[in-house]
Amino acid sequence: MVRVFISQPMRGRSREEIDAERDAAFGEVAEMMLDARGEDCQEVPSYIPSLGDQMPPLYVLGAAIQLMASADVAVFCRGWESARGCRIEHECAVEYGVEIIELA
């Protein structure tokens, strides 16, 4: 089982838009992993809307990085390079050897 962490820009997006992009990204990566490795995927639940409503962005980023620690693969959705939190998550994945997939 491949555990998948999804990083995506969220600022200015509705929960519905975020959820739709996450679902599409997970589906694409799940198909990719099944074809390439013959393995199923499980999403690391890193998007917790209620946490973002209650805590400052830096806290939410820290929680996301903790969740990434349990992932085998970190998936970065289109536009990640322009989002401060995604760039930090990407750097963590690079520095700590989490496999990276960048979606176009």
CATH number at residue 43: 3.40.50
Q: What is the pTM of this model?
A: 0.93
How many domains would you assign to the chain?
1
Helix ranges restricted to H, the chain:
15-37, 49-54, 57-68, 84-96
Q: What pLDDT digit, counting tens, does each position of 58-90 carry?
A: 999 999 999 999 999 999 999 999 999 999 999
Amino acid at 31: E
Neighbours of 102 (CB within 10 A): 13
43 bridge partner residues: 4
Look up residue 73 and give its two tokens: 């693969």
Neighbouring C-alpha atoms within 13 Å toward the C-beta of 76: 21
Contact between residue 74 and residue 101 where contact means Cβ atoms under 8 Å apart? yes
Q: Compute the distance between CA of residue 54 and CA of residue 72 in angstroms, rounded to an integer.
A: 28
Contact between residue 79 and residue 11 where contact means Cβ atoms under 8 Å apart? no
Q: What pLDDT digit, counting tens, does each position of 2-35 carry?
A: 999 999 999 999 999 999 999 999 999 999 999 9
Query: Residue 92 is part of which domain span?
Result: 2-102
